[in-house]
Amino acid sequence: SQQGEEDPQALSIQEGENATMNCSYKTSINNLQWYRQNSGRGLVHLILIRSNEREKHSGRLRVTLDTSKKSSSLLITASRAADTASYFCATALYGNNRLAFGKGNQVVVIP
């Protein structure tokens, strides 16, 4: 099964700065999703981008998808201490909604 691979694995930034995370995958997908996880708890869905979309915004989040490079990026603008969490990308294949997750990015926002 394919998996997203995030890069970088850990990121430490000052409050107010932007945080960018990247994700790559291996095969054709139906959609790509980003999730946040606080302290080993449940995952919270952030944003979904479909394979025919190139960019999507949700509040302070901006996601891009480049299907030719099989990669996606998540940008968090004007970061806050509450954004401190692990961020995962997950891909979904056509025909099913099982998710293949990457290893995650740990983001620490310093107040």
Partner 1 sequence: ETGVTQSPTHLIKTRGQQVTLRCSSQSGHNTVSWYQQALGQGPQFIFQYYREEENGRGNFPPRFSGLQFPNYSSELNVNALELDDSALYLCASSRRDPREFEQYFGPGTRLTVT
Binding site for partner 1 (CB under 8 A): 1, 3-4, 30-31, 33, 35, 40-45, 48, 88, 90, 92, 95-104
Q: How many helices (H) and strands (E) does the chain have?
A: 0, 11
Select from 6, 32, 16, 2 the least CA-distant residue to 87: 6
Report how far residue 5's alpha carbon sits from residue 7's, in angstroms, rounded to the nearest whole number: 7
Cβ at position 15, least distance to partner 1 in Å: 25
Report CA Rg, the chain.
13
Write down the residue that tokens 């995030």 correspond to.
Answer: 6
**Which residue, 73 or 91, is less far from partner 1 as judged by CB?**
91
**Which residue, 7 or 16, is less far from partner 1 as judged by CB?**
7
Cβ at position 16, least distance to partner 1 in Å: 28
**Which residue, 89 or 109, is less far from partner 1 as judged by CB?**
89
The answer to whether 7 and 62 are in contact (CB under 8 A) is: no
**Which residue, 41 or 69, is less far from partner 1 as judged by CB?**
41
Cβ at position 22, least distance to partner 1 in Å: 15
